[in-house]
């Protein structure tokens, strides 16, 4: 397929455009900034301001892709003033999706986040149940999380508006680890993967969730192929099959999220706090990587 990937120069976007191109797609990476480093084979860059309706319309009129993967936006909570985060993310999503629908794009997958669940709230938060799945209630407490919930509602609106003529879906990728971060580059929170494992408090904030960016790219490829057989507007958690932790979450969750003793009791072994069963059930997708296979150690090939 010919696929437009917005935010293609970002942490997740770089792996997505490369992964889709490797799988034979013709990829157009759209971002405000240029690709950092060599542009992968099979990828064309376009720099577009996605808050501009005319610019979005021109993009889709010229490219005429088969699919859209919308990853663009401010990617980190509190990275900018709260109002700016919300208005930017919500505006970019609405403007891009409206232009895509208007120009007949039939497959549209949009990135959300697990953050609308509400974990990390300064006033405390507990899950209703564990592992968390796509039916768990959302309770965003900051502008980033609210923007992601709003984006999901935008997807639902366009799905209802088009009545199935356009297949839309939502991916909620867990904490994204890009390939260079396995080799010691800092994650989006500024510390390394090894530091997240050595100090469980760092990963506890996001319930020890993570996903290799290349596995997320694999999910996106699978979704694009299956989109027309899926119900409209489906939401998917996309994460690793294990937790970012050296100890079972049955032990760790109660330490960092008091009150979860009973809820976490079933998270034995390497079980994560987020269920990816829906992606496996509807799409047959499973992640191929974990921190145990990917984390580079200077003394040993893998940790």
pLDDT attached to residue 34: 85
Region class of 64: left (phi > 0), else alpha (psi between -120 and 50), else beta: left
With cut-offs at 50, 70 and 90, classify the pLDDT of residue 302: very low
* Cα-to-chain-centroid distance, residue 95: 20
Distances (CA, A) of 145 to 152, 167, 274: 11, 24, 17
CA distances for 19 relative to 63, 75, 206, angstroms: 20, 20, 26
**Residues facing 67 on adjacent strands:** 3, 107
Give the β-pairing of 43-47 and 67-70: unpaired
Does position 298 have pLDDT exceeding 70, yes or no?
A: no
The pLDDT mean for the chain works out to 95
> How far apart are alpha carbons 228 and 104 in whole angstroms?
14
Can you tell me the mean pLDDT for 122-151? 97
Give the C-alpha separation, 30 to 187, whole Å.
23
Higher pLDDT, 303 or 42: 42
For the chain, give the percent of residues with pLDDT over 70. Answer: 98
CATH 2.40.50.100 given to domain 2-177+212-241+273-288: no
Q: What confidence tens digit (pLDDT) does each residue in 2-41 have?
A: 999 999 999 899 999 999 999 999 999 999 988 877 888 8
Q: Which residues pair with 191 in a beta bridge?
A: none
Q: What is the mean pLDDT of residues 85-90?
A: 98
3-state secondary structure of 12: helix
DSSP bridge pairs for 238? 173
Average pLDDT of 196-203? 97
Judge whether residue 202 has pLDDT over 90: yes
pLDDT in tens, 259-275: 999 999 999 999 999 99
Among 112, 228, 226, smallest CA distance to 167 is for: 228
Which pLDDT score is estimated for 38?
83
pLDDT attached to residue 59: 97
Q: What is the pLDDT of residue 35?
A: 83
C-alpha distances in Å from residue 107, one per residue of 1, 100, 103, 116, 166: 10, 9, 12, 24, 6
Give the model confidence (pLDDT) of 232-255 as tens digits. Answer: 999 999 999 999 999 999 999 999
């Amino acid at each position: 397929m010919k696929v437009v990937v917005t935010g293609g120069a970002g942490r997740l976007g770089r792996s997505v455009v490369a992964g889709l191109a490797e799988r034979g797609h013709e990829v157009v990476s759209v971002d405000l900034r240029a690709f950092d480093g060599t542009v992968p084979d099979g990828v064309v860059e376009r720099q577009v301001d996605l808050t501009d309706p005319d610019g979005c319309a021109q993009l889709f009129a010229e490219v005429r892709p088969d699919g859209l993967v919308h990853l663009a936006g401010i990617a980190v909570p509190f990275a900018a003033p709260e109002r700016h985060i919300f208005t930017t993310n919500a505006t970019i999503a609405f403007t891009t999706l409206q232009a895509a629908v208007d120009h007949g794009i039939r497959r549209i997958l949009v990135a959300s986040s697990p953050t609308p669940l509400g974990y990390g709230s300064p006033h405390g938060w507990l899950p209703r149940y564990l592992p968390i799945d796509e039916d768990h209630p959302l309770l965003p407490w900051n502008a980033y999380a609210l923007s992601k919930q709003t984006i999901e509602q935008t997807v639902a609106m366009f799905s209802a508006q088009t009545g199935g003529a356009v297949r839309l879906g939502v991916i909620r990728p867990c904490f994204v680890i890009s390939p260079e971060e396995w080799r010691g580059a800092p994650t989006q929170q500024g510390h390394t993967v090894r530091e997240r494992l050595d100090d469980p408090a760092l990963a506890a904030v996001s319930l020890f969730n993570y996903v290799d960016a290349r596995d997320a790219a694999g999910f996106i490829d699978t979704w694009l192929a299956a989109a027309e057989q899926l119900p409209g507007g489906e939401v998917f958690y996309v994460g690793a099959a294990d937790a970012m932790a050296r100890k079972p979450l049955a032990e760790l969750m109660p330490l960092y999220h008091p009150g979860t003793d009973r809820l976490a009791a079933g998270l034995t072994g390497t079980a994560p706090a987020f269920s990816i069963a829906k992606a496996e059930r509807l799409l047959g997708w499973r992640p191929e990587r974990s921190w145990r296979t990917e984390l580079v150690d200077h003394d040993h090939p893998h940790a």
